[in-house]
Amino acid sequence: MEQFVPVKRSKDGQPVRYLVVDDSVFARKNLAQMIETFGGQLAGEAGDGMTAITEYERTNPDIVLMDITMPQMEGIEAAEKIVQQHPEARIVMVSSVGYQENIVAALQRGARHFVQKPVKPEVLYEVIKYVMGEDGTVAHAAGAGA
Amino acid sequence: MKMELIQPFINAADAVLAQGLQSPMSIGNLSMEEEAYRRKGVAALIWVSGDIEGRIVFDLDPETAVRVASRLAGAELPESDELVQETVCELANQVIGNAVTSLNDQGFHFRVHPPVLHTSEHGPKCSEDTEALVMCFETCSGNVFMNVALRYNRSPQAERAAAGQ
């Protein structure tokens, strides 16, 4: 997999920490691999919306990558609940169902961005940089190239 | 089943499989299935409900499933690995999600349910108003089958409204 110039946290230069929420183990592994190529760190994983809320509290990640269609509690509802408690939460919805109503509903309930599956690493990388904004910095290191 | 329902599934399978396997695929046989569905190997079942209702089965013979999952995982996986089944479910989720997105843009509204592993040998026989179409996609890792059985579930008034009449 392509290696990207690491995105770090501006405040302390540490890797961006991610919570990955998806009911598919395959999808979580795939996203975890991408996070590694972005120089990030996997803070936690969850397989449904309910667990995502408790994992958010436990891990306090910089970014949440959240699927939409999941058992028990869907991603949009989980995103809304997390943002209600943590308005600063940066949640990126990652779903194969990318129609307008879904995207609008997710953004209205507090998600910062939407990425459609299958996820292209270069697209997610740009979204991560955008969502981190000034809280993220692209750390140019010798030997790394996007 | 109308082509307007089928084409988005073909396009989505083309996009998802070609990107995932990093190799072009071609469309093989397309046939109507009149008998009860018979599972070929590792199969994921997804139900949709709303303006269009029905189910889609995404089915790979065991050897193809292992090859596809290994290719996507970047490592050789044994047939017994749970990740093989997970991969088939997630591929189904991506293909069907993309197809549904396209159909939604055409004015159909529905809900996609999470994929479940289809373990029984047979599925329900299609009915008069729910024809099943079997599509075969030829990939570098083997044939991928998609069995689509859908029916319209909205009133003629809604049809006309969606058509802007």
CB contact under 8 A, A98 and B97: yes
Q: What is the mean pLDDT of chain B?
A: 85
Print pLDDT tens along chain A (146 aa): 788 999 999 999 999 999 999 999 999 999 999 999 999 999 999 999 999 999 999 999 999 999 998 888 889 999 999 999 999 999 999 999 888 888 999 999 999 999 999 999 999 999 999 999 999 999 775 544 44
CB contact under 8 A, B86 and A25: yes
Q: Which of B35, B3, B10, B54 is nearest to B145 (CA)?
A: B10
Mutate which: A23, A31, A69, A120, vs B, most B CBs within 10 A: A69
Q: Is the pLDDT of residue B156 over 50?
A: no
Q: Give me the amino acid identity at B69.
A: A
d(CA A130, CA A128): 5
What are the start-end ranges of the E strands in chain A? 7-9, 17-21, 41-46, 63-66, 91-95, 113-116, 136-138
8 A C-beta contact, residue B147 and residue B133: yes
Question: Looking at the partner chain, which of B15, B109, B114 has a beta carbon nearest the beta carbon of A69?
Answer: B114
CB contact under 8 A, A30 and B112: no
CB contact under 8 A, B112 and A23: no
Mutate which: B49, B101, B111, vs A, most A CBs within 10 A: B101
Chain B stretch 92-131, residues whose beta carbon is closer than 8 A to a beta carbon of chain A: 93-98, 100-101, 104-105, 109, 112-114
* Tens digit of each residue's pLDDT (9 = 90 or more) over A101-117: 889 999 999 999 999 99
The domains of chain B are located at 3-154
* Tens digit of each residue's pLDDT (9 = 90 or more) over B5-23: 889 999 999 999 998 888 8
Environment class of B162 (CB within 10 Å of its CB; exposed 0-12, middle 13-18, buried 19+)? middle
Tell me the whole-structure pTM to 2 decimals. Answer: 0.86
CB contact under 8 A, A100 and B94: no
Q: Which of B55, B64, B93, B51 is nearest to A97 (CA)?
A: B93
Classified by CATH at the fold level, domain B3-154 comes out as Chemotaxis protein chec (3.40.1550)
- What's B80's DSSP letter? T
d(CA B85, CA B79): 9
The domains of chain A are located at 15-134
Q: Is the pLDDT of residue B34 over 90?
A: no
Q: Is 3.40.50.2300 the CATH classification of the domain at A15-134?
A: yes
Q: Give me the amino acid identity at A27.
A: A
Task: Band the pLDDT of B124: cuts 50, 70, 90.
Answer: low
Question: Looking at the partner chain, which of B16, B109, B113 has a beta carbon nearest the beta carbon of A118?
Answer: B16
Q: What sign does the dihedral A12-A16-A19-A25 (CA atoms) show?
A: negative
Check residue B158 and give its pLDDT.
Answer: 57
